[in-house]
Structure formats: C-alpha cells, structure tokens
C-alpha cells in the first residue's frame, strides 16, 4: 500500500516539491484553481465514452500488438487482467474515488483510441492503472499535490485532483539525486534507476520519461526538459558512483528529446543556439527554471561521460540561456516565464538554486581546466600527413564564464530581503466624476490602497499585483483633499509604502438646457 513521502532523508539543494501559485488577486487565484479542478472532473468523466467511440479499445490494441509480434501474449493477458479489474473496481466506487480512477481509465482509453499504446509505453500506462485501482479502492484520501510512494518501490507519485495518481518524474529523479548525495544509499539509488528505466518510453530516437496526464492544456504523453535534465544528472552520477556504464548508456539515449523539436522533443532552435522547453506541448512558452535545470543535467552528463554530443547540446543551450536570462530579471524579482508573470516565492527560490548549481558547475569546470596540463603533441611519426606543418590535436572548447549565473543568483537572493519600492503618482481628480489613482510597485506584492479624507477612510482595496504601474478607479464625493496610501508586501514578507495627497476639484457645473 502507499506510504506518504515528502523526500528522502537527504535532499538535493535544487529539487523540492514546489507548487505554483498564480500571481493575481487572491480571489481570482482561488477561482482559477476551482475552475481547473471542475474542468478536470468534467474531462475525466466524459472522455472514456468519447475515446471508445472514436478509435480502438484497449483490448483491441493489445490484440493487435500481439498479432504484430510486438507484445508477448502472457504480458498482454496480464494487461487485460489489470484493465478488467480496474473497470470492475470503478463500478463499485463513488464520489472522489470514482472520479480519480475514472480519469486514469479515460487516459488509457484515449491512448488506445489515439494509437498511442506503443509497446514501450505500456509498462507505465498499466502500472499507473494498477496503482490507482489499488489506491482509490482502499487508501485514505490524499491532499491535492501530495507525493507518495508504494511499498517495495522507489518511484514517486503525485496526486493531481481530477486525474488521480501520476508518476512524478521530477520528484523521482530529484529523489535519485538526493540518494546519490547521501553516499550511503547506493542500493536504493540503483533500485530507483533500474525501476525508472523499466518505465521509460522510446521517443525522439531515444529514451524519455513521459507524463501520462493532461496538464496546462497539454495532452499526454508529454515530456519535460526539467525532469529529463534532472534524470541526466542522476544517471550520470550513478554511472560513476556505481561503476556501471549502463547508466551512461541510458543517459546517452535520453538525449533524444534534446536534439528533437516539439512535440516529440523539446529543442527550439535559436540564432544563439537552442532553448530546451519545460513542456514539449508548449513550444512558445519559455520557462527559465526548467531551462536552467536542463542545462545542469546536460553538463553533468557531458562532463562525467566526456561525451561529445552532450557537450554540444550543453553548449547550444548555454549560449541561448546566456542571451535570454537577463530578460527574466525585472531588477527586483524574477519572471517565471516569457510570456508570463513573475515567479511565485517557491519558483523564485528554485530558479536561484538552479542558477547557483550552474554557477558552481562552471566554476568547478574552469578551475579544473586551469589546473590541467596542456596536452603534449603526439610524436611526429604519428602526426597526420597533411602535406605541410603537422596539425596538433584540437584544444577542448573553452568553459563558459559563470559570472552571469553567479551574479544573477546573488541578485535573486538579495531580492528575498529587499522591500518593494512603491510610487504613488499625483493626478487630477474632480468631485462627482470618475477618476483614477495611479501607483507602481517594483515587484509582485499584495497591495493595499487606502484613501483617507479628513482622517476618515473612504476607500480601501487589497489585491495581488505584479510589478509595474497600476490604476484604481475612484469617484470622490466631495471637493476635499484625499490622502492616498499604498502599502505593498512582497512574497517574502518585505513591506514598502508610499503616499500622496491629491487635490479634488469642485464638481463640474451643469449647464442649463437651451
């Protein structure tokens, strides 16, 4: 049965269970969450019948794969058994439990109808079905976003309301990196990676760790540069620690999505090099924390395996991150994405930590390169005959300067302790007429605007706003001065304030009708 898990005993600095909070007024944020859950519930209950009507059934697809020699008949029988039991259990459930298991069944039906039941994808699909059947039949209801593991397994799962339990690959490989850091959990590290590789899918000419549920408008199966980059780190580190080259081979196969454009892969070619997407289904959405962590993973593999393709993929991505990172720094906080809002507190810290990781890696690479002796040229007898001067071996590529990443991480750390700057702009107001109060804040904050007339509060509004200029509509009742106070509290709890006294002109005279 499942057991709750937040993380192993030792956590890697850069990985944690981070939930994204929308930036906006608290009521609107809550509404968005509620609407999202309701939409997920509607999809989960409606999709099975639609999927079955549009394409082959799960059983038909299993039969086809067996007939094509792509699936062992015994394995196919076990999958049919799991499918039958899940549907039988579903009929006995009600309420939340029924909704969650129905969603997982619907994803399986959609995969069959859409021709997505590739042999390599079946282990993850049917394990997800089996885990959800067992969990929703008997286990206590989890909290939204809760992560957990099952007995005799290292894989991390997460509860997504309306979609049941799903494999959380970022959490799984974050756990693997933490086991590596612990230095005393090598057996668990090996078990986790072997289990994870058994659930990988053939995709983009290599191996990929796919997500099998709908997320932010993306339909399954999709992949993430953030999760796959974290996997590269874990696999490369384990290859060295465990002295087992099969993990290097697996990491090399996992490079496929980094060389392939979406939707199969995550590579978006740019004039500087390449951007690696957080989500393969969103090619125009550039999320900087996921991109940075993808580069950390590529660097770990490239250096530890001394792999030329890994080095080339890292170099292309690093050149692009160097070009676009300044655009994610507002001067007082980080942006989560482009296009998109500022980071919430968890993602601001996460980006800072990923940048520190890249800073540390490149600093170490530079130190090692400076300490390495220059390669001696080979004896003349082994030099290639070029018809002229012998050609010396090519020098290794220079290590990128880490200063940009180190400095940006330091600024993002400082942002956690810096008060928001608030500016209230004077402007004309008139009694009995609609007007506006203009103010600006330097970073995402919860802002309270208070309007006072002769010591009495006549208006007070509170909202979550992003950096930049904002306006609040007012309609003064009298031609008396107003004191406008704006107090902003940023996501880290730092407070700043500003105020201005506004003159209110008398109401416009009404001209008599002619």
**Per-residue pLDDT of the chain in tens (514 residues, 90 and over written 9):** 555 443 333 333 333 443 333 333 333 333 333 333 333 433 343 344 444 457 899 999 999 999 999 999 999 999 999 999 999 999 999 999 999 999 999 999 999 999 999 999 999 999 999 999 999 999 999 999 999 999 999 999 999 999 999 999 999 999 999 999 999 999 999 999 999 999 999 999 999 999 999 998 899 999 999 999 999 999 999 999 999 999 999 999 999 999 999 999 999 999 999 999 999 999 999 999 999 999 999 999 999 999 999 999 999 999 999 999 999 999 999 999 988 899 999 999 999 999 999 999 999 999 999 987 766 665 554 544 444 444 444 556 789 999 999 999 999 999 999 999 999 998 889 999 999 999 999 999 999 999 999 999 999 999 999 999 999 999 999 999 999 999 999 999 999 999 999 999 998 887 666 5
| Cβ atoms 352, 345 nearer than 8 A | no
Tell me which residue of 486, 493, 497, 467 sits closest to 333, measured CA to CA.
467
Q: In whole angstroms, what is the distance from residue 487 CA to residue 489 CA?
A: 7
Which two three-digit tokens encode residue 158?
Answer: 């997460």
Q: Are 56 and 110 in contact (CB under 8 A)?
A: no
CB 167 within 8 A of CB 155: yes
pLDDT value at position 427? 86
* Rg of the chain in Å (alpha carbons): 28
Assigned token pair, 374: 């220059």
Contact 220, 214 (CB under 8 A): yes
Rounded distance, CA 415 to CA 490, Å?
10
Residue 144 in tokens: 């939204």
Question: What separation, in Å, do the N-terminal and C-terminal C-alpha atoms of the chain show?
Answer: 85
Nearest to 216 by CA among 274, 157, 285: 285
CB 133 within 8 A of CB 127: no
Q: Residue 52 is encoded by which pair of tokens?
A: 């079955």
Distance of alpha carbon 145 from alpha carbon 156, whole angstroms: 12
Burial of 48 (0-12, 13-18, 19+ CB in 10 A): buried
Residue 398 pLDDT: 85
Four-point Cα dihedral 335, 341, 345, 350, nearest 10: -40
Q: Specify the residue for token string 């399954």.
A: 220
Question: Which two tokens mark 41?
Answer: 């519930």
Query: Which residues are bridge partners to 202 per DSSP?
Result: 207
Q: Is the pTM of this model over 0.95?
A: no
And the tokens for 26?
């608290």
DSSP labels, 90-140: HHH--HHHHHHHHHHHHHHHHHHHTT---GGGHHHHHHHHHHHHHHHHHSP
- Residues 6+ away with beta carbon under 8 Å from 219: 110, 281
Instruction: Give 227's Cβ-side CA count (13 Å radius).
Output: 22
Judge whether 450 and 484 are in contact, CB under 8 Å.
yes
CB atoms within 10 A of CB 149: 18
* E strands present in 304-419: 337-338
Show the tokens assigned to 464: 């979550």
Nearest to 295 by CA among 208, 354, 235, 210: 354
The values of phi and psi at residue 93, to 5°, are: -95, 165
Yes or no: say if 166 and 212 are a contact pair by the CB < 8 Å rule: yes
Q: d(Cα 8, Cα 143) in Å, to the nearest integer?
A: 19
- Contact present, 278 and 327 (Cβ < 8 Å): no
Angle at 132 between CA 42 and CA 145, to 5 degrees: 70
Kindly tell me the sign of the dihedral angle through the C-alpha atoms of 396, 397, 401, 405: negative
Site of tokens 């005279």:
509
CB atoms within 10 A of CB 406: 16
Report the pLDDT value the prediction gives residue 359, as an integer from 0 to 100.
98
């Amino acid at each position: 049965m499942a057991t709750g898990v937040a993380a192993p005993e030792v956590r890697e600095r850069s990985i944690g269970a981070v939930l994204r909070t929308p930036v906006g007024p608290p009521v609107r944020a809550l509404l968005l969450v509620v609407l999202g859950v309701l939409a997920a519930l509607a999809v989960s209950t409606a999709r099975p019948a639609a999927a079955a009507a549009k394409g082959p059934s799960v059983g038909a697809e299993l039969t086809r794969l067996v007939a094509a020699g792509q699936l062992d008949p015994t394995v196919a029988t076990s999958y049919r058994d799991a499918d039958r039991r899940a549907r039988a259990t579903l009929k006995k459930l009600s309420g939340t439990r029924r909704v969650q298991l129905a969603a997982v069944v619907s994803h399986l039906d959609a995969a069959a109808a859409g021709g997505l039941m590739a042999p390599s994808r079946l282990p993850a699909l049917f394990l997800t079905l089996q885990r959800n059947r067992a969990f929703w039949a008997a286990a206590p209801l989890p909290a939204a976003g809760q992560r957990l593991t099952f007995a005799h397994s290292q894989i991390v799962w997460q509860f997504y309301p309306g979609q049941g339990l799903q494999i959380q690959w970022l959490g799984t490989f974050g756990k693997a990196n933490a086991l590596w850091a612990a230095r005393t959990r090598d057996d668990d590290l090996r078990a986790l990676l072997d289990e994870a590789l058994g659930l990988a899918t053939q995709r983009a000419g290599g191996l990929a760790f796919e997500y099998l549920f709908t997320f932010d408008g993306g339909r399954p199966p999709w992949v993430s540069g953030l999760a796959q980059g974290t996997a590269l780190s874990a696999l490369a580190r384990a290859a060295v620690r465990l002295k087992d080259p099969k993990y290097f081979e697996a990491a090399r196969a996992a490079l496929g999505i980094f060389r392939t454009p979406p939707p199969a892969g995550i590579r978006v070619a740019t004039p500087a090099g390449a951007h690696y997407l957080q989500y393969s289904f969103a090619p125009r959405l550039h999320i900087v924390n996921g991109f940075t962590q993808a580069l950390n993973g590529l660097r770990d593999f490239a250096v530890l395996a001394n792999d030329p393709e890994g080095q080339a993929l890292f170099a292309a991505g690093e050149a692009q991150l160097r070009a676009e990172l300044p655009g994610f720094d507002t001067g007082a906080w980080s942006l989560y994405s482009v296009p998109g809002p500022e980071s919430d507190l968890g993602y601001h810290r996460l980006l800072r930590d990923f940048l520190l990781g890249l800073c540390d890696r490149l600093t170490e690479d530079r130190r090692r390169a400076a300490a390495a002796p220059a390669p001696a040229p080979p004896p003349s007898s082994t030099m290639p005959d070029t018809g002229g001067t012998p050609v010396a071996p090519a020098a290794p590529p220079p290590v990128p300067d880490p200063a940009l990443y180190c400095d940006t991480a330091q600024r993002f750390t400082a942002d956690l302790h810096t008060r928001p700057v608030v500016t209230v702009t004077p402007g004309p107001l008139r009694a009995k007429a609609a007007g506006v109060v203009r103010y600006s804040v330097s970073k995402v904050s919860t802002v309270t605007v208070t309007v006072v007339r002769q010591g009495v509060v006549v208006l007070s509004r509170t909202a979550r706003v992003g950096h930049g200029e904002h306006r609040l509509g007012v309609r003064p009742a009298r031609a008396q001065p107003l004191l406008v106070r704006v107090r902003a509290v940023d996501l880290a709890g730092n407070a700043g304030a500003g105020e201005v006294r506004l003159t209110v002109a008398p109401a416009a005279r009404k001209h008599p009708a002619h």
